[in-house]
Amino acid sequence: MTERDLILADGTVFRGEALGADIQAMGELVFNTGMSGYQETLTDQSYNGQIIVFTFPLIGNAGINRDDYETITPTVKGVVVREAATVTGNWRSEMTLDAYLREVGVPGIQGVDTRALTKKLRTVGTMKAMLVDHADDAAATALKDAQLPTNQVLTSATTMPYPVPGTGKKVVVVDFGLKQSILRDLAKRDCNVIVVPPKTTAAEIKRLDPDGVMLSNGPGDPKDVSSALPMIRAIEGQIPLFGICLGHQLFALANGADTFKMKFGHRGFNHPVREIATGRIDFTSQNHGYAVAADSVDQNTLLITHEEINDHTVEGLRHREYPAFSVQFHPDANPGPHDADHLFDDFMDMMTTFAEQRKEAATHA
């Protein structure tokens, strides 16, 4: 096997064996604690520009199949694993992890002590990193001087609107880098979906006459997507609104709250979340490096509905006046536990109730 090095921004070097594409790559180094779902993770646009460290020691044993993509063109920069399986054991498998990474042009490294690497990231936080054939002073200098991009949403989201036909409620999904599993959950509920680009205006959305609007997940810092805030302010109160992950953070910013960069984020499928009103615990799928600052939430405008049990970060918000709510985690959870799948049904009920109230108001006008 060909040797490959992983250089961290602090100068640490991890040596291993080459995996995937034979190219050099640079990105933000993050870790994912999921024990399954590596294909969905690799194709999740929320990892745009990042190098993923998988904490589970064996990755790739089920191969890659045609059904579990979250997007067709991955934007992840690199992959770090303890061991990449060379033999697959699933009847749907069409290729190995190594073959897939080569096909899509993503480099990786295996044979790395991912436990030690994860402990380091938990201690000092996520950082820039670089995959190279051989670590040297030139590569270290290039890594130190590099500035990571801040336009991940624009390179993840659709540039043109497109429909996902259905016979039920019309839902406009604002794409900031959405997962296909969100569209699958809406399709299960017979929604007639129109996916629109991230810079779509409120006026353009209203012309589509939707029953509801969904703000999707996506990569990067929500403050880099400030162009969406006027749209959200103009939509909420007039059309039922549901935000997921980045959509949740944008919903918070639009209503006066603040966000901050977390030390190492939440990435995995085993994050416990408490619904504050009921005490209900859901295990959730999460992938984010930013969070809503609890002390910045105006309690007269937004109600904090959910919190992460481990670090007590804000996991859910609901507008006190308008039919609008958001969650930091992924209720679509593909892969992951489906404890929070009911939130899509809550969104459906919200749209139905809002339509009935509007109809009744028109009758009495």
Which residues line the annotated binding site for L-glutamine? 46, 218, 220, 246, 249, 287, 289-290
- Helix segments in 172-307, DSSP class H: 180-188, 202-207, 229-235, 246-254
φ, ψ of residue 60 in degrees (nearest 5): 105, 5
d(CA 126, CA 167): 44
Q: Is 359 left (phi over 0), alpha (psi -120 to 50) or beta?
A: alpha
Check 98, 175, 185, 332 and give the catalytic one: 332
Q: Which of 245, 266, 288, 306 is catalytic?
A: 245
Q: What is the DSSP letter of 54?
A: E
Closest among 36, 39, 41, 71 to 56, alpha carbons compared: 36
- CA neighbor of 185 nearest in space, from 40, 341, 306: 341
Active site residue 245: yes
Q: Is 191 a catalytic residue?
A: no
Q: Is 68 a catalytic residue?
A: no
Helix 180-188, helix 342-363: angle, nearest 10 = 60
CA dihedral sign, ordered 246, 248, 254, 256: negative
Report d(CA 84, CA 97) in Å as an integer.
7
319 burial type by CB count under 10 A (0-12 exposed, 13-18 middle, 19+ buried): middle
> How many other CB atoms are found less than 10 A from the CB of residue 99?
15
Quick one: which of 169, 222, 176, 216 has its CA closest to 355?
A: 169
Question: What residues form the annotated binding site?
Answer: 46, 218, 220, 246, 249, 287, 289-290
- State the catalytic residues: 245, 330, 332
